[in-house]
């Protein structure tokens, strides 16, 4: 077998490790060796970049916590919103997106904190309060004036958020699925599944550590992409 | 000629050094606001003990976990207040660690305002620093690291150049050894080790930054100088320490002789000193290797990052540039940005596919023989149900019936009912829609009657006709089919 073919196989293996987000190089000697090789061997690193690129993935970071990949929008590895939660209305989609923005902004309050290297902590109740406070401040700024009944599509996001209850007790003891607490909890559970957060305790409705992978994904991809979409929306583009 | 500044540089440095102790003082001052009686606890001392515990494990190895440091602190607290519960000790320990991590400010750096007279005019400046931070170790555990500020705060060398301070410390050590001042020598050796840790940190950060993004680091000028300095420095340090160790071992023999004469404590301390200096030396050696690899690391990073596909853009401020604008925008306009963020933040998700080979294998597998005794003692994992389980919770039913309650002879639109129901929740709306649908095609006689007059329903969740719903009184139903 040619050396190039072996390289391609090893590169694909490294990309495969990246798709098992909770696996760490320290837990798997083969993974560890591939990460070390990526660091030392520029040709191999290039092959990894191309293998990932062919699958519609970009390599965001390779280091002690593993390889961090980002899917291109059309990649088979990109999350479809319907896989996140099925049958969402526009308003619900907005709220779920807003909550993810809230988790990230809670963990990384400033641009500098996105560039740091430390571990941040967040909790379900903390993020919910954080978003509710932000929305409440906006209500104070904008006054209590009711939205136009004729143009519900022009209703601002903060109004929608405040209209949702934070929590609701149901007879069987579960929080209602449509409350903001439940939506934040769901967001954090999904992030934990993806190896972005790690649960530390049940305090505050679930307390998590925000890991390196999450910071990279937010900084290198999510924030930039969302910012571009927002800028385009702002200019009517 | 430039006007002379009002104060000398050293003054500003000392002001800043003093300001860096503020978080620890604030922690101690917060005792009064704590639940229960905390007056007996010296939170300042506990904070220093925490930094101490962190630095002990720091260096080129992984480091101490928050749980380990909390346990160490809890032991100290328990020793200070043996009559209090272990839970109280843990609470105090957690509070100390939270304060050093600045958990109150979501782990942002401390920002302490201070007066700066060093420029042409007085200004209020803000000193930004961290004391402890949590980082991920390569094996996935999360460990604590003390920042340079914390290390300085701890060793008390608040305003000195790393290298000079170390050279000085070792000169002092040698002279102390000559005069047999072992006590102070142990203390000085401990400081020397802390400085090694600090130095290693500086170099490691540069290498980390290089791996992350070459452009953040000045490899043209600054870094080569730092590496050269560090290499020269380490070379001499290793010589000095070799010499020190030799001297120490000699001293140890002498001290051991003295011990026989009745001063046994000196021997133990000299032994401690030897292990300290050995540790210091091994840390230097590891750092030395790291430095030797630094240049090839730089070249590798350069090669790799030259091929990096996307040009890096500036870092977006999440709160100001994304969260706030989206909150202010109408839902329909902000939604694409918000969902774009959601999808990207979750990263790459492998599509879940059925593996045909595994499926076939699974289907073709022979029945597994069940062992005779297996599972015999297990109680069935079943729960008795009274009747069918309900899809909706009782109070959803109550809310939905509330919505339908006012209906009479006069028909109402489904869309109005749904709007009513949504004021409660999406679940209630769903139940209302299902009830109305049931009335439109009833399997048996129901109270409600629904009819279609061709108006389409505009709804985010349901599609179909905007039905007219009514609850006919007994009289008007008489002719209707059962």
Distance in Å, alpha carbon of B448 to nearest chain A alpha carbon: 27
Same domain, B185 and B299: yes
SS3 A172: coil
Distance in Å, alpha carbon of A3 to nearest chain B alpha carbon: 20
User: Of A65, A214, A225, which has the smallest distance from its Cβ to B340's Cβ?
Assistant: A225
C-beta atoms of A213 and B343 within 8 A: no
A123 phi, psi to nearest 5 deg: -135, 160
Same domain, B407 and B460: yes
Residues of A in contact with B138 (CB under 8 A): 24-26, 64-65
Same domain, B142 and B253: no
Residues of B in contact with A187 (CB under 8 A): 342
Task: Locate the chain A residue with the closest alpha carbon to B329.
Answer: A156
DSSP codes joined into one string, A69-86: EEE-TTSTTSPPHHHHSS
Same domain, B48 and B182: no
C-beta atoms of B327 and A64 within 8 A: no
- Strands B412-413 and B468-470: what pairing? antiparallel
CA dihedral B457, B459, B464, B465 (to 10 degrees): -20
B412 within a domain of the structure (yes/no):
yes
Per-residue burial over B21-48, b = 16 or more CB atoms within 10 Å of its CB, e = otherwise? bebbeebbeebeeeeeebeebebeebbb
B59 within a domain of the structure (yes/no):
yes
Same domain, B139 and B17: yes
> How many angstroms separate the CA atoms of B447 and B8, rounded?
90
> How many angstroms separate the CA atoms of A53 and B6, rounded?
59
| ipTM of the complex, rounded to two decimals | 0.90
Domain end point (choices B282, B305, B328): B305
B331 within a domain of the structure (yes/no):
no
Nearest Cα to Cα of residue B322 among A2, A20, A157: A157
Domain end point (choices B274, B290, B305): B305
Same domain, B138 and B249: no
- pLDDT confidence of residue B160: 46
C-beta atoms of A118 and B135 within 8 A: yes
B289 within a domain of the structure (yes/no):
yes
Same domain, B403 and B428: yes
**Number of structural domains in chain B:** 3
Q: Assign residue B462 a region (left: φ > 0; alpha: ψ between -120 and 50; beta: otherwise).
A: beta
Same domain, B189 and B296: yes
> How many angstroms separate the CA atoms of B148 and B158, rounded?
10
Domain assignment of residue B402, given as a range: 394-477
Same domain, B232 and B300: yes
Same domain, B188 and B274: yes
B337 within a domain of the structure (yes/no):
no
C-beta atoms of B341 and A226 within 8 A: yes
- Other Cβ atoms within 10 Å of B107 Cβ, number: 24
Which tens digit of pLDDT belongs to each residue from A13-47?
A: 999 999 988 888 988 999 999 999 998 888 999 99
Instruction: Please count the residue pairs, one from chain A and one from chain B, whose beta carbons lie less than 8 angstroms apart.
Output: 283
In the beta sheet, which residues pair with residue A201? A207
B348 within a domain of the structure (yes/no):
no
- Other Cβ atoms within 10 Å of A110 Cβ, number: 16
| Structure tokens that stand for B292 in this block | 């030797």
DSSP A154: G
Residues B225 and B312 sit within 8 Å (Cβ to Cβ) = no
To probe the interface with A, which of B338, B416, B430, B462 has the most A CB atoms within 10 Å?
B338
Distance in Å, alpha carbon of B374 to nearest chain A alpha carbon: 34
Same domain, B16 and B143: yes
B381 within a domain of the structure (yes/no):
no
Same domain, B141 and B170: no
CA dihedral A47, A50, A55, A57 (to 10 degrees): 100
| Structure tokens that stand for B450 in this block | 């629904």
C-beta atoms of A222 and B340 within 8 A: yes
B350 within a domain of the structure (yes/no):
no
Domain end point (choices B250, B273, B305): B305
One digit per residue, the tens of pLDDT, for chain B of length 482 reads 455 667 766 678 778 888 888 999 999 999 888 888 888 899 988 998 898 888 877 754 577 889 999 999 999 999 988 898 999 999 999 999 999 999 888 898 899 999 888 887 888 989 888 999 998 887 778 889 888 778 776 665 434 444 555 555 555 555 555 555 555 556 666 666 666 666 677 777 777 777 666 666 677 777 777 777 777 766 666 676 676 677 667 666 665 565 555 554 555 666 667 777 777 777 777 767 777 777 777 776 666 555 444 444 567 889 888 999 999 888 888 999 999 999 999 988 877 665 666 667 767 776 655 444 444 444 445 555 555 556 777 788 888 888 887 777 778 888 888 888 888 888 888 888 888 877 776 655 567 778 788 788 877 777 788 888 888 765 444 444 43
| Residue reference for tokens 């790690």 | A198
> How many angstroms separate the CA atoms of B81 and B37, rounded?
11
Q: Is the pTM of this model over 0.80?
A: no
Distance in Å, alpha carbon of B242 to nearest chain A alpha carbon: 33
């Amino acid at each position: 077998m040619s050396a190039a073919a072996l390289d391609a196989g090893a590169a694909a293996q490294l990309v495969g490790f990246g798709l098992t987000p909770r696996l760490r190089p320290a837990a798997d000697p083969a993974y560890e060796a591939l990460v070390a090789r990526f660091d030392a061997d520029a040709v191999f690193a290039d092959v990894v970049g191309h293998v990932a690129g062919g699958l519609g993935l970009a390599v965001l970071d390779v280091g002690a916590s593993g390889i961090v990949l980002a899917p291109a929008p059309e990649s088979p590895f990109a999350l479809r919103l319907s896989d996140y939660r099925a049958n969402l209305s526009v308003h619900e989609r907005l709220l779920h997106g807003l909550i993810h923005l809230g988790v990230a902004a809670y963990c990384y309050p400033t641009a500098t904190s996105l560039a740091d290297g430390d571990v941040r902590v967040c909790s379900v109740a903390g993020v919910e309060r954080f978003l509710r406070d932000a929305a409440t401040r906006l209500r104070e700024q904008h006054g209590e004036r009711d939205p136009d009944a004729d143009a519900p599509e022009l209703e601002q996001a903060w109004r929608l958020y405040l209209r949702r209850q934070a929590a609701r007790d149901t007879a069987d003891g579960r929080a209602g699925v449509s409350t903001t607490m439940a939506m934040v909890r769901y967001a954090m559970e999904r992030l934990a599944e993806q190896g972005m957060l790690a649960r530390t305790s049940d305090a505050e409705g679930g307390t998590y550590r925000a890991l390196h992978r999450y910071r990279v994904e937010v900084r290198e991809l999510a924030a930039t992409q969302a910012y571009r979409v927002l800028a385009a929306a702002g200019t009517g583009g | 000629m430039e006007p002379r500044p009002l104060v000398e540089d050293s003054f500003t440095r000392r002001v800043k050094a003093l300001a860096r102790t503020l978080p620890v003082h604030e922690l101690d001052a917060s005792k009064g606001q704590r639940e229960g009686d905390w007056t007996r606890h010296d939170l300042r001392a506990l904070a220093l003990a925490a930094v101490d515990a962190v630095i002990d494990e720091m260096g080129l190895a992984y480091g101490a976990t928050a749980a380990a440091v909390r346990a160490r602190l809890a032991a100290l607290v328990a020793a200070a207040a043996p009559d209090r519960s272990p839970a109280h000790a843990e609470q105090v320990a957690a509070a100390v660690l939270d304060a050093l991590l600045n958990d109150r400010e979501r782990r942002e750096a401390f920002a302490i305002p201070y007066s700066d007279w060093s420029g042409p005019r007085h200004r209020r400046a803000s000193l930004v620093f961290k004391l402890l931070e949590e980082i991920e170790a390569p094996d996935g555990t999360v460990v604590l690291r003390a920042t340079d500020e914390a290390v300085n705060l701890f060793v008390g060398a608040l305003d000195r150049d790393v290298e000079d301070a170390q050279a000085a410390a070792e000169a002092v050590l040698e002279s102390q050894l000559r005069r047999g001042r072992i006590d102070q020598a142990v203390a000085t050796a401990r400081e020397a080790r802390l400085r090694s840790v600090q130095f290693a940190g500086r170099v490691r950060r540069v290498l980390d930054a290089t791996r992350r993004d070459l452009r953040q680091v000045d490899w043209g000028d600054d870094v080569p100088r730092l590496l050269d300095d560090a290499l020269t420095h380490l070379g001499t340090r290793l010589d000095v320490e070799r010499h020190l160790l030799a001297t120490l071992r000699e001293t140890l023999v002498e001290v051991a002789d003295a011990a026989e004469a009745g001063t046994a404590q000196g021997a133990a301390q000299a032994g401690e000193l030897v292990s300290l200096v050995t540790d210091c030396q091994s840390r230097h050696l590891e750092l030395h290797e790291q430095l030797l690899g630094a240049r090839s690391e730089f070249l590798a990073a350069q090669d790799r990052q030259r091929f990096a596909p996307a040009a890096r853009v500036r870092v977006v401020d999440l709160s100001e540039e994304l969260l706030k604008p989206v909150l202010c925008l109408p839902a329909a306009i902000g939604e694409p940005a918000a969902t774009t963020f959601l999808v990207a933040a979750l990263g790459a998700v492998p599509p879940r596919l059925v593996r045909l080979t595994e499926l076939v294998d699974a289907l073709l597998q022979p029945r597994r023989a069940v062992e005779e005794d297996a599972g015999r003692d297990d109680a069935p994992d079943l729960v008795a149900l009274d009747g069918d389980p309900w899809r909706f919770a009782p109070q959803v039913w109550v809310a939905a019936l509330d919505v339908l309650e006012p209906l009479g002879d006069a028909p109402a639109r489904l869309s109005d009912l749904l709007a009513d129901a949504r004021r409660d929740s999406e679940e209630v709306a769903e139940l209302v829609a299902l009830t109305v649908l049931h009335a439109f095609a009833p399997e048996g006689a129901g109270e409600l009657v629904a009819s279609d007059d061709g108006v389409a329903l505009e709804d985010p969740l349901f599609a179909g006709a905007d039905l007219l719903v009514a609850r006919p009184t007994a009289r008007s139903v008489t002719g209707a089919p059962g």
